[in-house]
Structure 1
Amino acid sequence: MAFFTHEDGRYRATAMAVSAWSQGQLAGTAVCGLLAHRLETHSPGPGFLPARFTADLFRPVLDEPIELRSAIVRDGNRIRAVDASIVQRDEVRARATVLFLAIADEPPGEVWQPDAQDLPIPEQRLDGPHGAPPLFKSGAGDWTHDFASGVNPFRKSAWNNVPAIVDGQAVTPFERAAFVSDTANLVCNWGTQGVGHINTDVALALVRLPEGPELGIVAQNRIAANGIAVATTTLYDRVGPVGTCTITALSNAMRQVDMAEFAAARGIPVPR
């Protein structure tokens, strides 16, 4: 189980990576995971954290062979900036940047920050070695694997165990975070008639990497007008928060996505 295979210097998507919006396009989650996969190859080492990941999703990434390009654009003692892009048909389809920041001790003194949040964590564990279908939670409802459970106006969370991004390579904590960050569109823009926005970007900020195979995301804020939605989420594991993700999304009302139909079309198993 993986989202991409790699052969002759190019990546090819599997059926798992196909978008809910179009059979000929790839999902933003898979695109973000693949960009993170390439960016992480430029990590300075264990003394640095991929603290900010931003992705611009300005063209559809097609279900065709993918060329990945990347380059270090700034290197220093405490910061390394790296760019990556997905190229198809001689066009850049999506691009991303990561800032690797040097890990250091916290400065002395007390600084205000919000009280610890009551982050929803399921009792059921998704800790299998090859990933698992996600769990969803709406409002005060129970966690469920049901892809139709979010057809309501309530605040949403999702709990994930991401399969491998590239076949034969275990998913890394950074790839996991980048993949899940794109689901901010799902937990924030899923309403009574499905998902009607498509996100144009992802801005992920991390203070640490997630621990273990599970990673949650919960909606924190949403502002929408003029067919544009700006939404913010918190990413967290069983230890606590790991960072935030903000997206900007465009109305796609003519192709509203029904998540139950999406799951059925992809043959996504729903454990009982």
Structure 2
Amino acid sequence: MAFFSVDSGGTDSTGQSLFLPTRYAASLWAPGTLNGPAVCALAARAAERDHSVPGFRPARFTIDLFRAARDVPTATRGRLLRNGGRIKVAEVDVVQFVDDTEVTVARSTTVFVKEAANPPGERWERSPEMIEFRPPETDSDDPLPWFGTATADGTIEWSQDMGAHQNAQRTWLWTRAVSTVVGERPSSFERSVISGESTSLVCNWGSEGIAFINCDLTVALSRLPVGPRIGVEAASHVEVDGISTSTTNLYDSDGQFGVGMVTGVSNAAATIDFTAVDTGGRYSEA
């Protein structure tokens, strides 16, 4: 399962590979459009493949989603904005080709930071007792996501039935990212970005469904995740006048490794009601 396949028949005008969206990249917002994780994954893949160097780690990924990406040939265009001794910054455009016209649908910035020893001294961190996230016991080969909802006694109730978790309670997700490109295993960085995009889902999802669509994503990473699954925990959500801001904590089997943040805009006319749509098959797998 992957979001894109490589178009073996050609390249764009700059010689960059063309990628063809698969059914796993399809969005539920509108027919013929691509989901956020697919677009973010392609940008993250390009940044890491073209601009990462030994000793530097991707520490922040930010992408602005300018417009809805369509189910058409897609490419990436990257450039190094800063090449410092401790910080390197790469910019990647996600471009699509519609009626012989090139359209930039998203632009990302990835900050690579040089690894070093932590400075001396002690600083505050959440203690293990303060961490509420406890992943469900599940088969590691199970490709489908698990959804969690807070119960009255403070525990997390897990299941793979999305409709059962459509409420106004705090939400968790224990997910396994698909590949960005057919034939490739997603890197830990790609998986962080793909799962981090679910910040919009777990925070903007309410009792009537999801009616905020995110126009950006930021993932900040203190380390890269280990293991096949990533946990996404709703940390904060504020909405005023049709604008929402949301943050999540990102976990793997060893604990928290990063945070996610999105800005959402009201898209109530296209609300996705997960109690009424088929959330099996392609959507759950993606």
Name the TM-score class by shorter chain.
over 0.9
Match for 1:134 among 142, 145, 152?
145
Give the Å deviation of 1:266: 5.2
Which residue of the partner structure matches residue 117 of structure 2? 105
Any idea what SS the aligned residue of 1:70 has?
Answer: strand
C-alpha spacing 1:228/1:69, structure 2 compared with 1 (3 Å): same
Give the Å deviation of 1:261: 4.2
Structure 1 unaligned spans of 5+: none
Give the Å deviation of 1:268: 4.8
CA distance in 2 between counterparts of 1:82 and 1:203 reads 14
Which residue of the partner structure matches residue 77 of structure 1? 85
Which residue of the partner structure matches residue 3 of structure 1? 3
Using the TM superposition, name which of 83-92 and 48-57 deviates more: 83-92
- Kindly provide the CA deviation profile for residues 24-53 of structure 1, in whole angstroms up to 9, marking residues without a partner as x: 110001111111111111343341110000
Which residue of the partner structure matches residue 14 of structure 2? none
Give the Å deviation of 1:264: 4.1
Which residue of the partner structure matches residue 161 of structure 1? 176
Any idea what SS the aligned residue of 1:90 has?
Answer: strand
Match for 1:200 among 189, 204, 215?
215
User: Is residue 53 from structure 1 mapped to residue 61 from structure 2 by the alignment?
Assistant: yes
TM-score by length of 1: 0.93
- Kindly provide the CA deviation profile for residues 214-239 of structure 1, in whole angstroms up to 9, marking residues without a partner as x: 10000001111000000110001010
Q: What is the one-letter code of the residue matched to 1:175?
A: E
CA distance in 1 between counterparts of 2:279 and 2:86 reads 47
CA distance in 1 between counterparts of 2:190 and 2:106 reads 16
Match for 1:151 among 122, 142, 166?
166
CA distance in 2 between counterparts of 1:262 and 1:18 reads 14
Q: What is the one-letter code of the residue matched to 2:262?
A: I
Match for 1:41 among 25, 49, 52?
49
Q: What is the one-letter code of the residue matched to 1:29?
A: P
On the 8 A contact 1:126/1:160 being kept in 2, the answer is: no
CA distance in 2 between counterparts of 1:50 and 1:212 reads 18
Any idea what SS the aligned residue of 2:235 has?
Answer: strand
CA distance in 2 between counterparts of 1:119 and 1:239 reads 14
Any idea what SS the aligned residue of 2:162 has?
Answer: coil
CA distance in 2 between counterparts of 1:223 and 1:269 reads 27
User: Is residue 219 from structure 1 mapped to residue 230 from structure 2 by the alignment?
Assistant: no
- Kindly provide the CA deviation profile for residues 47-83 of structure 1, in whole angstroms up to 9, marking residues without a partner as x: 1110000010121110100021111111122111001
Q: Give the paired residue count.
A: 268
Which residue of the partner structure matches residue 137 of structure 2? 124
- Kindly provide the CA deviation profile for residues 77-113 of structure 1, in whole angstroms up to 9, marking residues without a partner as x: 2111001011123121111010000011000012233
On the 8 A contact 1:150/1:190 being kept in 2, the answer is: no
Q: What is the one-letter code of the residue matched to 1:192?
A: S
CA distance in 2 between counterparts of 1:34 and 1:83 reads 13
Cα RMSD for the two superposed structures: 1.7
CA distance in 1 between counterparts of 2:18 and 2:52 reads 24
On the 8 A contact 1:150/1:191 being kept in 2, the answer is: no
Aligned-residue identity in percent = 35
Structure 2 unaligned spans of 5+: 11-16
CA distance in 2 between counterparts of 1:218 and 1:109 reads 29
On the 8 A contact 2:56/2:115 being kept in 1, the answer is: yes
On the 8 A contact 1:219/1:233 being kept in 2, the answer is: yes
C-alpha spacing 1:124/1:46, structure 2 compared with 1 (3 Å): farther
CA distance in 1 between counterparts of 2:133 and 2:47 reads 30
Moved beyond 6 Å, runs of 4+: none
TM-score by length of 2: 0.89
